[in-house]
Structure 1
C-alpha cells in the first residue's frame, strides 16, 4: 500500500513538472516580446528638467509665467501641426461610418441582406449569423442594441466599397440614404450639392481617471464620460475673425482644396481637437488589433509644460525655439511666420498660414513651434497656476475652467506671442482662423531608448 502511495506521489510530481520551464522558480508571467515603435510623423522628446517660464523681462507685464524648474517624462510629439489633409482623413472616416450606419439600418428595417444585393450588401455583419464566431454571436445576443437607437454594438460591413457616383447607385434605397447625406436641393447653388456637415458627428466615451482616483466612492461607470460633437472645422472663422476684411477665398477653399492639404487645419475647437485625438487612437488600435499587436498609448493634446519643453528644443532659457533673441537670421530672413510689422503681414513671405513644414525645425526636429498657428494644449489657463502646479509633469487641468492654454503665436500675432514662454488662452468651445493643434503620445519607459524603430 505504501509503495502504491509513493508511486502516486511521484507520478503526480512528474505531471506537474513535465513541460514546465520555470523549474518552480519565480520568473514572472511571460508576455510577447515588446519593442518601442516610433509613431509615424512624430519625434521622440526625451525626458528632462527645464526652467519653465520667462527668464527674460516680460514686456507685456502679464506676469503669469514666473520661472520654475520642472521635469517632464519622455513623449512623442507630431513634428508638424495637424494638417488639413490629416484632419480630412478624420472627417472622411466619420462621413463613411455615418453613411454605412444609415445604409445598414435601412437594410435591417427592410429585412435585406447580402443575398438580396443592392442596399443589402451594406447590411450589418450579424445579418448572416452563419459566419459569426461563438464569441461574436454571444456578444450580439447579450449586448447589442442596448443604446438609444437599438443598433449600438452591431458591426458594420466595412468590406463593401461605398458608391459616391450617382450614376452607379445600386438601387433606390441606396439613393434615398445618399440623398439624406447631402444638403437639401433648395440650399445648393451653382450646381454644387455638398455633404451636410451638421450630420458629421463623432461619438466616443472616455474615463475620467483623475476624478476616479481621487474619489472615495462610486463605481467605475460613474466616471465614464460620453461625448458627441460635430467635427467639421468652422470655415466661417476666416470671415468672422476679421471685420471689414475680404477673406472669402480662404473661407471657400482653405480646408477642402488640395492646394492647402499640407497647411495646418484651423477653425477647430479644443473639444474637436480632443475628439481627433480619440479617433486617432482608435484608428491605430483597430489596426493593431487586426495584426495581433498590443495597443498603443492614447494620442492626446500636450500639457502646457510638455509643449514649452518641446518648443525649447533643449535650449535652456532661449527666447524662441531657435534660441534668440532675434526673429531674423544672420542672412536677414525671418525665422517664423508671424506679423513682423504694423499692418504688414507679408514681410515674412506669407500673408496667412504656410505649409506645416516651412521654416527650419528646432533641435527636436519640430516645425513651426513659433508662429504659423497657435496650438491648443490640454491645460486650463490660470494666471497663477505656476505657483501651485507640481514640479513633476505639471498640468493645471480643470473641467470647470473653460479657458484653455494656447501656445506658440500665429501668423497674425506679433513676435511677443512667438516666445516659448508666452502664455495665452482661448475658450474651449471657440474656433479661430489662427488656432490649430498637434498631438503627443506617452513614451513607454523612462530612459531614452536605443534603436527605436
Structure 2
C-alpha cells in the first residue's frame, strides 16, 4: 500500500510540474536562473535615477556659454566611490604581465601547469574551441611564476626583462614595453550603421586591438600599452624638479592609495574592458551568465556632472556650497588656490583618493585631486543634438584621424587647476592618446533593471 501511495504522489508531482512548464499550452516564458544581480559592486556607490539641471546654471564668469543649462534625466548606475588608485591599476598591469609570462613559457616551459581545462559549458569562453585559459588560482600572486626557487619558472622568463644595452647591470627590470593588452568587442555604433546592409557580417562590427593589426582593416588597432607613462611628471613641467615623482609615484607603497595618473583615455578604456572580463571569469566559475553584471566603462560627461551634484540642483561644487572653504576655513578639495598656492589644501600634488569629505552620494574628489576621463567625445556643436535623458556623444578616433577627433571630455579639475575648473558644470578636453600627470579616471556600471520607489 505504501508503494502505491508513493507512486501516486510521484504521478501527481509530474502532472503539476508539467502544467507549470506550459504543459497545457499556456505561455509561461523562459527565465534565466535567478541570482542577485543588483548588488552594489565592491568599491562603488549607487547613483539613483533622477533629473537635474546640466550645464552652467551658476555665474558664467568667463562668459564661455559653452554648455547651456537644461533639465536632464538619468537612469540609475553604479560609480566608483574614488578615483582608480595606483594599487587598483597595478592589479591590471600585473594581470597583463602574468598572462604574457604564461604565454611566453609555452607548453614546454610550463606544461599545462597554469592552464585550466575548458569546461564545455555553454557561454564559457574557450569551450567551443577547446582553448585552455589561464588558471588564475594557480598563478595566484605570481610568486611561483616569477620565482627561481621551489621549482619556480622565473629562470625561463628572461625575455620579459630588459636585456643587452637596455639593461642596467645588477638589476632585473621588467621590460614595460612588452606589457600590452589585446582585446576585441562588438561596436554597437558600427552595428547600428550597418544593420540594414545585407552585405555586412558580424565581423564588420568587431573592433580589435591586437599585436598584429591588419592594415587593411579599419577596425584593427594596435594593442594597448598598459604601463602608465611615469615621465608625465617631468614632461608636463619642463622647468620643475619632479624626478622623485617619476621614480616613485606609481610603485612606491606610500602612493598606493593615490590616484593613478599618466594613463591615456585609451588605457583607461582598456582597463574598463579588463575589469569587465575579470568579473565575467568569476561569474562563469559560479555558473552565472556572462552578462551577470553590466559592463564597466568610463562615465559619460553627463553622468559625471549628475553624480558630482550629489542629488542637488544648481549647486556650484560637489560639496554644495558656493565657496571652496568650509565654515572652519578648511579647503574642500585639492587644487591650485589663488595664484599659485599649492599647499594650503594639504597637498602639493595629488592626495589620497579618500581625502576631504564626500558629496551627498558618497563620492570622493569629484572636484580636484585629478581631472577624470569621460566616455564623451568633445564636440561643442553636438550639444543641441543630445537627448534630455542619458545624453552623450561618442567617437573612437583612429590613429590617422585628425587630432580634433581625438578630443575627449575631462571633468572635475585637478591639483594644478584654479577653482573655476572645479565647478560641476565646467568641463574641458584632452586628446585620447595623451597621458597627463593631472588626469585619472573612475568607472561606472549600469544598474540592471529599474529602481522604482513607490510613494503613498
TM norm structure 1: 0.84
Contact 2:335 2:415 in 1 (8 A): yes
Task: Say whether 1:47 aligns with 2:28.
Answer: no
Alpha-carbon spacing, 1:175–1:34, altered in 2? closer, same or farther (3 Å): closer
Residues 252-281 of structure 1: per-residue CA shift (max 9 Å, x gap): 000011110000000000000000000111
Unaligned runs of 5+ in 1: 1-13, 108-118, 127-131, 145-152
Q: Name the structure 2 match of 1:372.
A: 369
Is structure 2 residue 269 aligned with structure 1 residue 291? Answer: no
Given that 2:315 and 2:322 are in contact with CA atoms closer than 8 Å, whether structure 1 keeps it comes out as yes
- Name the counterpart of 1:429: 433
* 1:264 lines up with 2:259 in the alignment: yes
CA distance in 2, matches of 1:449, 1:29: 27
Output the CA distance in 2 between the equivalents of 1:141 and 1:445. Answer: 29
Describe how 1:161-180 pairs up with structure 2 within 5 A.
161=139, 162=142, 163=144, 167-168=148-149, 170=151, 174=153, 177-180=156-159
| Cα contact 1:51–1:68 (8 A) shared by 2 | yes
Instruction: Check whether the contact 2:231–2:246 (CA below 8 A) recurs between aligned residues.
Output: yes
SS at match of 1:424: strand
Tell me which moved more, 311-320 or 62-71: 62-71
Distance 1:134 1:409 in 2: 49
What is the alpha-carbon distance in structure 2 between the residues aligned to residue 360 and residue 140 of structure 1? 46
Secondary structure of the equivalent of 2:374? strand
**Equivalent pair of 1:185/1:193 in contact (CA under 8 Å):** no
Q: Pick the structure with greater CA Rg.
A: 1
* Residue 165 to residue 46, structure 1, CA distance change in 2 (3 Å): closer
Q: After the TM superposition, which residues 391-406 of structure 1 pair with which residues of structure 2 at under 5 Å, given as runs?
A: 391-400=388-397, 401-406=405-410
Distance 1:305 1:253 in 2: 35
Bigger mean CA offset, 343-352 vs 159-168:
159-168
2:202 to 213, 216, 220: 220
**Is there any run of 5+ residues in structure 2 with no aligned partner, and where?**
1-11, 210-222, 398-404
Measured on the aligned residues, the alpha-carbon RMSD in Å equals: 2.6
Q: How high is the TM-score relative to the length of structure 2?
A: 0.84
SS of corresponding position for 2:89: helix
Q: Distance in 2 between matches of 1:157 and 1:264?
A: 30
Partners of 1:424 and 1:269 lie apart in 2 by: 15
Provide closer, same or farther for how the CA distance between residues 123 and 70 of structure 1 changes in structure 2, counting only shifts above 3 A. closer
Match of 1:92 among 94, 97, 103: 94
Aligned residues: 411
Cα distance, 1:166 vs. partner? Answer: 5.3
- Aligned pairs for 1:47-196 within 5 A: 47-107=49-109, 119-120=110-111, 122=113, 124=115, 143=129, 153-161=131-139, 162=142, 163=144, 167-168=148-149, 170=151, 174=153, 177-184=156-163, 186-189=165-168, 191-196=170-175
C-alpha spacing 1:15/1:368, structure 2 compared with 1 (3 Å): closer
Q: Is the 8 A contact 1:408 1:420 kept in 2?
A: yes
CA distance in 2, matches of 1:380, 1:312: 21
- Aligned 8 A contact 1:99 1:177 in 2: no
Does residue 231 in structure 1 map to residue 212 in structure 2? no
